[in-house]
Structure 1
Amino acid sequence: MTLARKSNPVRKATRRTLLSLALGACFAGGVHAQSNTSGSIVGHAAAGETITVTNPATGFSRSVTVGSDGSYRFPALPTGQYQVARDGSQPRSVNVSVGTASNVDFTAASGGATTLDAVTVVGSSAVNPIDVSSVESTTILTEQQIDMLPVARDATNVALLAPGTVRGDGRFGNLASFGGASVAENVYYVNGFNVTNIVKGLAFSEIPFEALQEQQVKTGGYGAEFGRSLGGVVNMITKRGTNEWKFGANAFWSPDSLNTGTRFAYDPQRDGSYTVEKGAKTDTLRYNLYASGPLIKDRLFLFALYQGEKVETRTPFEGGSAFSKQDTPQGLVKLDWSITDNHSLELTAFKDTSETHTVNYQRTPGDLGIGGGEQIGTAETETGGENYILKWTGYITDNLTLSALYGRGEYSRGSSDTNSADCPIVVDTRATAVVGPLGVQGCWIGTGLVGDPNAGDVRKAWRFDGEWSLGDHLIRFGVDREEFSTLDGSVYSGTAYEPETPGGIFWRYSNATAGATLPNGAVVPDGVTEVVRLRYFENGGNFLTKNSAWYIEDNWNVTDTFLAYLGVRNESFQNLNSLGGAFIDVKDTWAPRLGFSWDVNGDSTFKVFGNAGRYYIPVYANTNVRLAGSELDYIEYYRFTGIDPVTGAPTLGAQIGQRFYNSEGGVPDPRGVVDNEIKPMYQDEYIVGAQMALGDKWSLGIRAIKRELKAGMDDVCDGSGAEAWALQNGYDEDQAANIRAAIDHCFLTNPGGALSINADLNGDGTLTRVDVPASAMGYPKASRKYSAVEFFVERAWDDKWFLQASYTYAKSLGNTEGYVRSDNGQDDAGITTSFDLPGLVEGGNGYLPNDRRHSLKVFGAYKLADEWTVGANLLLQSGRPINCFGVYPETGTNPAAGSYGAESFYCGYYYDDTGAADTGNGYPSYLHRRGTSGRVPWVHNLDLRLSYEPRWAKGLKMSMAVQNVLDSEDYYRVQDVADDDTGAPLSNYRHPLSFASPRSVQFSVQYEF
């Protein structure tokens, strides 16, 4: 007979606790919540015992009494290394990271008497530790980890290491897309202060990177504390001073002589082939001086850093080149004052100003030298500004912690361009035009829009947060409010058209047919075959955007191994026009957040989790500028007679018809530009996953994610459907025409839904509410669906090596990317061309630009010897889908869409898989549904870093990092426009654009004493 081995419950509990500790201090014990600036220490001990936590580096010390349930908690601890002791026993060392809880138990978790005083807990360097008390999808990278990796030293490139992130379109800057959302839908924090620029969502205030202590990246499932984002959260925590004075300096140099040159493609013969050229070179020098230490020992600490950077870039392209110099004098000061052991105050001040001077040249296409040809203008650009953040934290009782924050930030968007004075925008779409591949004439460069040189923004924000521990419940709550003031405006480049106007003209030349009706209502006279369209545009003003929210959440330990998360966030959004009147005023949006975490084995080695949530995003200030500012926009038509050979501007013949106004220069009535029932853009998200420990250092996991846009927001500019509906429902012809006019000037709404407008029905200035059903408008509902499965594995740093690898399979489908459009480079947040006319949406449902089906990321570091460490970063990622944009056909159901030029999903010719045009087919146009015209090839990128820390010179570090070691010629997008505005095929369709960064070498040296 075989005797069964009897289980020892005390020994089992002891093994559980030892394993939990060995897996890393970030494993949670007891209920806790995630903070956006600090971490916590939790654990178990005998009821009534005193637990003391200290930070030797700052002298911070605090004690609590263990509760009757045997648990204790130290919330709202600044990140860093701490020691934890029970009743004066030998302390244990533990690391605290932002948004996580470090677990230190002094008794067996089952309540047995076994103690573990001999165990020393050392913080794990795992990127995604198994935190059984969190339902979020989070990646944390510390300064020490980043220093070992060959990753570019900025917030976006660090965020791109996380699963579920992809690089955004380069025309929007260096930004990441999270979970299929556009790059304009993320939120960025510095020490708890929202630094996102919400004019277009494409900028944020950045700290000098060497001041970064930790960066937290939330890719999904984040709690009710966080909002105003449909993409992800990038949370940056800065360094702080300690009781030890330290001084240091470092420098990072990337010489252009070791840079192989950014590539660009052009078609020298205009025959559909293309040549890839190298040439763009960048020489970068960044240096930092810093100091940290105690102004008053144990009480008042300083960290201060100054950063200087000089960047010189030489960029050739087919028809010209640009030489730019960028100077970025930046700095950060952090003061931390421990007023008492229970109250602290911290002040962060930083400046991220960047000034760029650019000289532009134009020359004969094909001459690819730098600086050759005629200088056609200079540009001066300034971005960034000063930011101040003041935060108080108070430990009111052992169970109640409160905090309050106030912040103010400035961001300049000023620019000036000498080219704008003499060079108007000119596009020639005539069949006889002899111009560049996109119809460009004359000397204008860039977008042709000249911004207000004083453009900029100021954010003022405050928030109040609390945390209250009640047995098995941890209640967190808070309220916040921000005001974002914007000064903005723009005009077309060129000499002032009339003395009273500040800007120039956008000229367009096109063929015409006698008897045809022009967009201004005039008829083309007999004998006229070529016409000139004149368009004048100016807008601007001062605008205010107000956002407020409150939240409450409960982290409930239902059992010892099962955590339930229940939260709700309530947000309100208000946008004011340039006269101070509210044109958007949305109150009480409800965003529930639910989740669970199941510690399956009860020892933090196997976690199953899930969450569901609703997320809203504010109406960006760009909408204020475009829809609620003073705007003058009109067109005129003339007979074509000739062209100025220098500027490309026309010599005008007789005018055809009268001036047609899109906007007459005043500030529109706020009731007439926005749907009465408009909802901010929002989406629902669902995540389920599991994570398992494999021994002391390894873990692996899987997540399934689904995101669905529930309400999009954009403008519609076609009221023909509403007019037809009105005629069928009792309105007379004049009233129906006025209903149409209320929409035709472009009207902000939730596309695809019913429309509630205020129309001047009788032409007497009295606005009357009219509700138009969705079926009458002819627009589909805005749609974006993202689904993905993420696999990830990692090994924690053990003073020898660490590794993280992730593979993501994802799909992003719909008819809108979101706030911006990557397929045509439009950054007009919230007011893109996507839904302007019904014809532009035909075929628009398909694979979206951020659909990267496969992504494999591997990064880590290995210590070769005591003094040498090597780091690597590998990316393999499939390409984005390709579109085929052309002119909407005259025979279509919405002929007016043809006035937008090559903006529809119809191509005038049939294209095979290689992009070759079968010109024998001609019209009618072929519908090529979104994302079905092929894929951009895969991107393959390998970066390496070698670091040396000599024993003979303590405090000295040297390294060499090589980006794109294999110098791959991969690219991120192609030319999606297949036809010109006349419907003729363009020779550069599917040509590569936005090449991967070339191979470059960066040397760095740092000395600290």
Structure 2
Amino acid sequence: MLRKTVLARALTIAFAASVGSVVAPGVAFAASNSAGDIVGRAAAGTVITIENKSIGLTRTLTVNKNGDYQLTMLPPGTYTVRAKRPDGSEDVREVAVAAGQGSSANFEASTNTVVVTGRLNRIDVKSPESSMVLTEAAIDRIPVTRDVTAVALLAPGATRGDTRIGQTALRSGNVPSLGGASPAENVYYINGFNVTNSLNGVAFNQVPFEGIAQQQVKTGGYGPEYGRSLGGVLSVTTKRGTNEWKGGANVIWSPESLQAKSVYAEKSPTSGRWNLLERPGGTDDLQGNLWAGGPVIQDKLFVFGLIQGADIKRESYFNNTQEVVKNNTPRYLLKMDWNINDSNLLELTAFSDKSKDKVQNYASLRPYQTARGADRGTDEYTSGGENYIAKYTTWLTDDFTVSALAGLGRYNRKSNIQSAQCPYTTDNRVTPALVLGCATTVNITDPNANDERRALRIDAEYSLGDHGIRFGMDHEEYKVVDGTFTSGGERVWIRNLGVGSRLSNGYVNNTGAPQSYVEVRHFENGGAFTTKNSAFYLEDNWQVTKNLVANIGVRSESFENLNAEDKTFIKVTNTIAPRLGVSWDVRGDQQTKVFANAGRYYIPVMSNTNVRLSGAELDYREFYAYTGSNSSDAFQRPGRGAMLGSRATSSNGEAGDPRSVVDPNIKPMYQDEFIVGMQQALANRWTVGLKYTHRKLQKVMDDMCNGPGAEQWALGNGFNASQAAAIGGAIDHCFLYNPGGDLTANVDLEDGKGLTTITIPSKALGFDKPQRKYNAVEATFERAWDGVWNLQGSYVWAKSKGNTEGYVKSDIGQDDSGISQDWDYPGLMEGASGYLPNDRRHTVKLFGAYQVLPEWRVGANFILQSGRPLNCLGYYNGTLDEVSILYGAASFYCAGKPNPRGTLGRLEWTRELGLQATYQPKWMKGTTFQVDVLNVFNDRGVTSVEEGGETALGTPSPTYLQPLGIQNARTFRFMAQYEF
């Protein structure tokens, strides 16, 4: 009995340590990202019984003649697994189950006489997935910012995206790039429900951080139950009630007084270098959480609830403006679980991350100082919303399990701007630019802007001998109310125009002297739009031999986008995405694994495409000589002299016929992936791994506007001048198609026959094929937590190269997913091939914790990463077209010469160290005191810069290379917590 107890304890620690720390890669068989599996082998006829006393769940099955068993879709937790063999012998194990993962429990031989002499870490030999799992306990031991992105960035192959991607009026963008994909190509789940904001893919709903029980990050090789992602899958499982009432409260405070100084960038007049100088300001962040969970009915009905309160204040001091932001919006999480009986489980989740920022704006009397000028009004911004999820799981037989999920999610994007009548004007002749007049923001969102998702998902698993069959479907409708307009109806710049320099509308300064000019842009769009996505999948997890598992699957997705009149303008059905993975347990002892997988992955057309392409949009620019003085009223409008050239119109305000804005043969964006790797378990809980990843973007979906190219082709291919003009005009308002291929367009030739289908060859449009290749070699090691210490580390060498980043364009901070300025005209793509914005050649990550004394624990987190490639973007001066110059500093020409992508060096390396100390006194059981210091050495590395190098053709921009993204200042975070 003693030997059995020792063995069970050793295995319990080993498995719990693996799940409680990092598991990479994951286990196959788990069909749900909110539930896990227990799989294993035993003699045929063995009766397996599992029990989770904390939630009153018990299941029993008999092992089949092949010696395999599988218990699927289990709520996360610790299970007692009993195996009673036909010969009467019996074994007992404790197994930790994590969501989206599986755990092994093999009973092929009796352990009654086994003596445990060491603790070997067992690895996952059933799956080729690349995955990282962190439980609440593991996250608590790591000094990181308390959000989903910060946890995801611990995974190998994860890089922080450009701070402008997903940026709001108040917050920098905070989304990761995973595996070389753009930050808009991930998918996010909470308890199995997709919470990705599908307007442009760079936002997502989040539960209060204290409500997270587990977070999983899949960075490649995931099975066919997952789709709508080319980057990664981020899944959060929330806490739940158990048979024991538990609760707690904490206070978390990051005081502004201990935060390192804010900084701003100033250009040296002598060296021309940008220097970071200190300024006042910072954030005081006080949050409190109160939670409780337990049984409403013992073993049957459980509840968990959490409320989060906040008192956050941020003060910022700019060149000639100031702002004070306050937020005290409460958030909540409610989870209920009902064990209807041993075969049926119902789960209900409700949470809110709705947040309202109130911004008080002031003029500044002195640049970057606290001296306060006139009150410029109060603005309000709302984000986030409510989500409701219902999931039902039924174990119909020992071999057949089905789950069904329905969800409703809302996301607000509302704004209430007091200065909405004021044009936003900046004087860009100086650095940093001066803000003139009473405007407080550039673009204003429709006060009614919001998004709503309704989703249904069904998953099933059937165990059939050596085959584990999984299949399912999902359908979601995403409704968007969106609209944007420029504050005061105009965005205004005052700029310099050098002698002989040319504006984007063609005007050339031939006055013989430099002149100042006023550029005015008017922009507005909006409407209500619906997007529908659906998919079904089938997979066979085949135990080919005792040591070899093959995952053979296929996923089919369909996408439909409707315009503001609910008419379909994009419809793609039955895409085929095969997935194949193999995993080899080399010696059959769960110590050495070799794995590989290959797959195709599609991503849907974002709702942003509905808004920008199928809605009514008015966008034009005008240019005037600057008189040298501004109006004396609150608007401070720059004096306008003679108009310089003619108006440059990008969109005329009319919504096109849905049949005439999209190539009817369009294919959605997709990527192929290949991964091969190995993992080795060592003594004393150590695991090492090595992996190679190759990803290649095969299709891109974007808008193209090369009407002149289409017209020239038509003139040379049998169309008369009138017809050619009609073809060019149809393309001129921008067509959605697959760049690099032929374009099929429905065009009204004005011959009384309605729309005529015309195919324009790719050569006539002047575009190369899209390219994005990601290659990475990843080396990892892990020492699993044993109650005393753990350590996790990775080194990734990666190369991301091509002519398109994907769904966003970090070069200019554009997150118009699927409809960026890429591919609009050939000139914008000339020189675009090179190292992409998310290319980070070297990345080192290291984190761990050590229990110094029974009451004291310390932790650390360190990231070292090489810099981003640099560009100089300017006015197009090539010969491929005459329109690209209208885009301003947007091409890979600068100072009139080509500067191909990524050829101007790189930003410097960045490093960041976080430290943590935790005190849990025995004299007050359940109490925890913790202090985290993030960015200990206050490294302020620059992560992105202004790459626009000109203000007109031949006129250098004074803001070129100005730092835009800077590492966060050193921050102290204190926590006091009590749990019962």
Which residue of 1 is the match for residue 15 of structure 2?
A: 24
Structure 1 residue 266, shift from structure 2 partner? 1.6
Determine what percentage of the aligned residue pairs are the same residue. 49
8 Å CA contact 1:403–1:465 kept in 2: the answer is yes
1:17-56 counterparts in 2 under 5 A?
24=15, 32-56=29-53
8 Å CA contact 1:300–1:336 kept in 2: the answer is yes
Which residue of 2 is the match for residue 97 of structure 1?
A: 98
1:781-820 counterparts in 2 under 5 A?
781-820=769-808
Give the secondary structure class of the aligned counterpart of 1:675. Answer: coil
Report the residue type matching 1:246 in the other structure.
K
Give the secondary structure class of the aligned counterpart of 2:886. Answer: helix
Which residue of 1 is the match for residue 762 of structure 2?
A: 774
8 Å CA contact 2:932–2:973 kept in 1: the answer is yes
The total of aligned residue pairs comes to 955
Determine if the alignment matches structure 1 residue 569 to structure 2 residue 548: no
1:896-975 counterparts in 2 under 5 A?
896-908=883-895, 925-975=896-946
Structure 2 unmatched runs, 5+: 1-5, 166-172
Which residue of 2 is the match for residue 82 of structure 1?
A: 79
Give the secondary structure class of the aligned counterpart of 1:420. Answer: coil
Give the secondary structure class of the aligned counterpart of 1:391. Answer: strand
Structure 1 residue 412, shift from structure 2 partner? 0.2
Which residue of 1 is the match for residue 168 of structure 2?
A: none
Give the secondary structure class of the aligned counterpart of 1:541. Answer: strand
Which of 483, 487, 491 is 1:493 aligned to?
487
Which residue of 2 is the match for residue 335 of structure 1?
A: 336
8 Å CA contact 2:50–2:81 kept in 1: the answer is yes
8 Å CA contact 1:615–1:684 kept in 2: the answer is yes
Structure 1 residue 374, shift from structure 2 partner? 3.7
- Inter-CA distance 397–269: structure 2 relative to 1 (3 Å threshold): same
Structure 1 residue 43, shift from structure 2 partner? 2.3
1:276-355 counterparts in 2 under 5 A?
276-278=276-278, 279-355=280-356
Determine if the alignment matches structure 1 residue 822 to structure 2 residue 810: yes
Give the secondary structure class of the aligned counterpart of 1:894. Answer: coil
1:567-966 counterparts in 2 under 5 A?
567-634=553-620, 641=627, 643-644=630-631, 647-652=635-640, 662-762=650-750, 766-889=754-877, 892-908=879-895, 925-966=896-937
Structure 1 residue 98, shift from structure 2 partner? 1.6
**Cα distance per residue 1:656-688 (max 9 Å; x no partner):** 898776444343210111122211111111100
8 Å CA contact 1:415–1:452 kept in 2: the answer is yes
Determine if the alignment matches structure 1 residue 393 to structure 2 residue 386: no
1:37-436 counterparts in 2 under 5 A?
37-87=34-84, 89=90, 91-108=92-109, 114-116=110-112, 130-172=123-165, 173-267=173-267, 269=269, 272-278=272-278, 279-363=280-364, 367-370=367-370, 372-422=372-422, 424-426=423-425, 434-436=429-431
Which residue of 2 is the match for residue 921 of structure 1?
A: none
Which residue of 2 is the match for residue 499 of structure 1?
A: none
Higher mean displacement: 326-335 or 134-143: 326-335
Matched residues in 2 for 1:551 and 1:347: separation? Answer: 25
Matched residues in 2 for 1:517 and 1:558: separation? Answer: 67
Report the residue type matching 2:888 in the other structure.
G
RMSD: 3.1
8 Å CA contact 2:648–2:886 kept in 1: the answer is no
- Inter-CA distance 859–639: structure 2 relative to 1 (3 Å threshold): closer
Structure 1 residue 537, shift from structure 2 partner? 2.5
Which of 546, 549, 552 is 1:560 aligned to?
546
**Cα distance per residue 1:583-631 (max 9 Å; x no partner):** 1111111110011001111111110000001001110001111111122
8 Å CA contact 2:500–2:954 kept in 1: the answer is no
Matched residues in 2 for 1:721 and 1:94: separation? Answer: 65
8 Å CA contact 1:264–1:995 kept in 2: the answer is no
Structure 1 residue 322, shift from structure 2 partner? 2.3
- Inter-CA distance 86–119: structure 2 relative to 1 (3 Å threshold): farther
Matched residues in 1 for 2:546 and 2:468: separation? Answer: 14
8 Å CA contact 1:95–1:123 kept in 2: the answer is no
Structure 1 residue 19, shift from structure 2 partner? 10
Matched residues in 2 for 1:453 and 1:307: separation? Answer: 26
Matched residues in 2 for 1:224 and 1:300: separation? Answer: 33
Give the secondary structure class of the aligned counterpart of 2:923. Answer: coil
Report the residue type matching 1:138 in the other structure.
S
Give the secondary structure class of the aligned counterpart of 2:891. Answer: coil
Which residue of 2 is the match for residue 914 of structure 1?
A: none
8 Å CA contact 2:792–2:846 kept in 1: the answer is yes
**Cα distance per residue 1:212-252 (max 9 Å; x no partner):** 11111000000000000010000000111011111210111
Give the secondary structure class of the aligned counterpart of 2:853. Answer: coil
Which residue of 1 is the match for residue 169 of structure 2?
A: none
8 Å CA contact 2:494–2:516 kept in 1: the answer is no
Higher mean displacement: 787-796 or 410-419: 410-419
Matched residues in 1 for 2:527 and 2:617: separation? Answer: 9
Matched residues in 1 for 2:962 and 2:499: separation? Answer: 33
Determine if the alignment matches structure 1 residue 453 to structure 2 residue 437: no
Report the residue type matching 1:590 in the other structure.
I
- Inter-CA distance 660–193: structure 2 relative to 1 (3 Å threshold): same
8 Å CA contact 1:106–1:116 kept in 2: the answer is no
Matched residues in 2 for 1:588 and 1:302: separation? Answer: 41
Higher mean displacement: 149-158 or 395-404: 149-158
Report the residue type matching 1:812 in the other structure.
S
Report the residue type matching 1:762 in the other structure.
E
- Inter-CA distance 272–602: structure 2 relative to 1 (3 Å threshold): same
8 Å CA contact 1:779–1:838 kept in 2: the answer is yes
Matched residues in 1 for 2:477 and 2:749: separation? Answer: 36
Structure 1 unmatched runs, 5+: 1-14, 109-113, 495-502, 909-924
Higher mean displacement: 660-669 or 728-737: 660-669
- Inter-CA distance 116–991: structure 2 relative to 1 (3 Å threshold): farther
Matched residues in 1 for 2:937 and 2:650: separation? Answer: 52
**Cα distance per residue 1:697-745 (max 9 Å; x no partner):** 0010011001111011221222221111111100011111111111112
- Inter-CA distance 491–117: structure 2 relative to 1 (3 Å threshold): farther
Give the secondary structure class of the aligned counterpart of 1:138. Answer: strand
Q: TM-score, normalised by structure 1?
A: 0.90
Report the residue type matching 1:288 in the other structure.
N
- Inter-CA distance 19–948: structure 2 relative to 1 (3 Å threshold): closer
**Cα distance per residue 1:107-159 (max 9 Å; x no partner):** 32xxxxx34598999999x8xx7211011000000001111111112111110
- Inter-CA distance 568–116: structure 2 relative to 1 (3 Å threshold): farther
8 Å CA contact 1:94–1:122 kept in 2: the answer is no
Report the residue type matching 1:346 in the other structure.
E
Q: TM-score, normalised by structure 2?
A: 0.92
Which residue of 1 is the match for residue 965 of structure 2?
A: 994
Structure 1 residue 906, shift from structure 2 partner? 1.5
Report the residue type matching 1:975 in the other structure.
E
Give the secondary structure class of the aligned counterpart of 1:144. Answer: helix
Which residue of 2 is the match for residue 463 of structure 1?
A: 457
Structure 1 residue 980, shift from structure 2 partner? 2.0
Matched residues in 2 for 1:455 and 1:562: separation? Answer: 52
Higher mean displacement: 545-554 or 983-992: 983-992
Report the residue type matching 1:739 in the other structure.
I
Matched residues in 1 for 2:502 and 2:889: separation? Answer: 20
Give the secondary structure class of the aligned counterpart of 1:720. Answer: helix
**Cα distance per residue 1:322-355 (max 9 Å; x no partner):** 2211223100000000000000100000000111
Give the secondary structure class of the aligned counterpart of 2:15. Answer: coil
**Cα distance per residue 1:453-491 (max 9 Å; x no partner):** 110100000011100000000000001000000000011
8 Å CA contact 1:690–1:703 kept in 2: the answer is yes
- Inter-CA distance 280–517: structure 2 relative to 1 (3 Å threshold): closer
